[in-house]
Amino acid sequence: MEPILAAVGIHKRFGALVVLDGVDFAVGRGEAVGIVGPNGAGKTTLLNVLAGSLRPDAGHIELDGADVSRAAAARRCRLGIGRAHQVPRPFGDMTVFENVFVGAAAGGGGPRSEVYARAIEALDACDLGGLANRRAETLGLLHRKRLELARALATSPSVLLLDEVGGGLTDAEADELLATITAFRGRGISVVWIEHIVHVLVRGVQRLVCMAEGRVIADGEPSAVMSNAQVIDAYLGRAVA
């Protein structure tokens, strides 16, 4: 599959700690890839490097074949790399619509009528149409997460980076969110999704990558990766019983 976003030979250290140790990663056009790994594996750092909020010590990032390593996060957002964060931080005293409008204006740009239409479309795609005029700070957790997705979607991404968006939800809520995210792929958007809630993630991605200690240790079909002995050892320590 032709990659839309690729990280090539990424190294990153924080002081003496090597966080990414030669990571190669790519997501294909329209593909959804999950990234799992125990605490400290380097997943969020990789996402930060892809998004441009962290500069790697070595390696480069390609978006649709072009080297975007030197582009800052805001520029990459306009180029098509959208991102939803683990802890949604909406503008609390603005409405749901206004929050999404900010994403549409800052990310996709264009004439005001287009920005407006894109914001509405993102709201609808995330099932927030009925809450458009609610102040964001009055939303519950699931709706905040939907708003975080809608804001990212409104930037017209070709790739969406999701950072543990499923955390803290009930099973039913996680299923709802999963349906929303799965629908993004129908729009041709590629997804890179880090998630601790593995049983939700494996239903939302076609391919799973497992990282441990700054390296990719498995890459393949989700159920095969999750039954890989090396992956289980990375999570659970040495063999049990």
111 part of the interface to other proteins, by CB under 8 A: no
13 part of the interface to other proteins, by CB under 8 A: no
144 part of the interface to other proteins, by CB under 8 A: yes
Between the CA of residue 198 and those of 15, 38, 164, what are the distances in Å?
31, 11, 10
132 part of the interface to other proteins, by CB under 8 A: no
217 part of the interface to other proteins, by CB under 8 A: no
22 part of the interface to other proteins, by CB under 8 A: no
- Region class of 204: left (phi > 0), else alpha (psi between -120 and 50), else beta: alpha
- Region class of 140: left (phi > 0), else alpha (psi between -120 and 50), else beta: beta
Residue number, 144 or 151, with CB nearest to other proteins:
144
**CA angle in degrees (0–180, nearest 5) for 149-202-218:** 110
Contacts of 26 (CB under 8 A, 6+ apart): 3, 5, 6, 7
Instruction: Name residue, tokens 């975080």.
Output: 148
Print the binding letters for residues 154-193 with other proteins: x by CB under 8 A, - otherwise.
----------x--xxxxx----------------------
**What is the rounded distance in angstroms from the CA atom of residue 69 to the CA atom of residue 169?**
35
Among 29, 38, 114, 215, binds other proteins (CB under 8 A): 38
Among 65, 111, 140, 186, binds other proteins (CB under 8 A): 140
74 part of the interface to other proteins, by CB under 8 A: no
226 part of the interface to other proteins, by CB under 8 A: yes
> What is the contact surface with other proteins in residues (CB under 8 A)?
38-39, 140-141, 144, 164, 167-171, 196-200, 202, 226, 232, 235-241
